[in-house]
Amino acid sequence: MALDRWIALLLLGVCLVYGYTAWFTMDAQLAPFMQRNPIWPSTFPKVLSILGVVASTVILLGLESSEQKVGDIDYRRLGDYHLGQALLLLGLMIVYALSLRPVGFLVATSGFLILGSYILGERKWHIMVPIAAVAAVFVWYLVQQVLGIYMRPLPGFVGG
């Protein structure tokens, strides 16, 4: 079996477990007043699990086009790709997730966007820094003020 089908099989298992959790365990914990809402907190995970199962099944059954195009990844030539950048971005995502509480949302998100764009090759600091700061403040405002979900904007020692 080809590498893409092994990955699809793994993703199918993950989507099935995720779907089981969304369909059966998340809904059992809802408060009685939320059970009459048309959209529950488990609605988006349910949709994601269904889409994941469908996409994985399509790949497993080989229903997608099988001819290799110019932009397709050849697993036999993984050394030719930018694996260093991908691994650095994965590491940066982990550091970002771990630093959200200690340093606050605005600092962590701005740092993630700046360092992520630097890893991907952007070198114009006068563009990266303002865009990252505006994006972080905009997302924080939407989550905090519009959705009403509290997110610590600054580090605790600064007063966040």
| pLDDT tens figures, 135-151 | 999 999 988 888 777 87
pLDDT of residue 59: 87
Nearest Cα residue to 40 out of 15, 21, 22, 13: 22
How far apart, in whole angstroms, are the C-alpha atoms of residue 66 and residue 150? 47
- Given a cut of 90, is residue 110 above it in pLDDT? yes
Percent of the chain's residues with pLDDT above 90: 39
DSSP 75-119: GGGGGGS-HHHHHHHHHHHHHHHHHHHHH-HHHHHHHHHHHHHHH
Q: Which amino acid appears at position 4 of this protein?
A: D
pTM higher than the cut 0.85? no
Q: Which of 34-38, 59-63, 120-124 has the lowest mean pLDDT?
A: 34-38
How far apart, in whole angstroms, are the C-alpha atoms of residue 5 and residue 73? 14
- pLDDT tens digits for range 49-106: 999 999 999 988 887 766 656 566 666 676 777 788 889 999 999 999 999 888 989 9
Neighbours of 22 (CB within 10 A): 21
How far apart, in whole angstroms, are the C-alpha atoms of residue 151 and residue 148? 9
C-alpha separations of 116 from 1, 14, 103, 105, 126 in Å: 35, 27, 17, 16, 15
C-alpha separations of 153 from 35, 98, 135 in Å: 32, 15, 13
**Residue 113 CB partners (closer than 8 Å, separation 6+):** 128, 131, 132, 135, 136
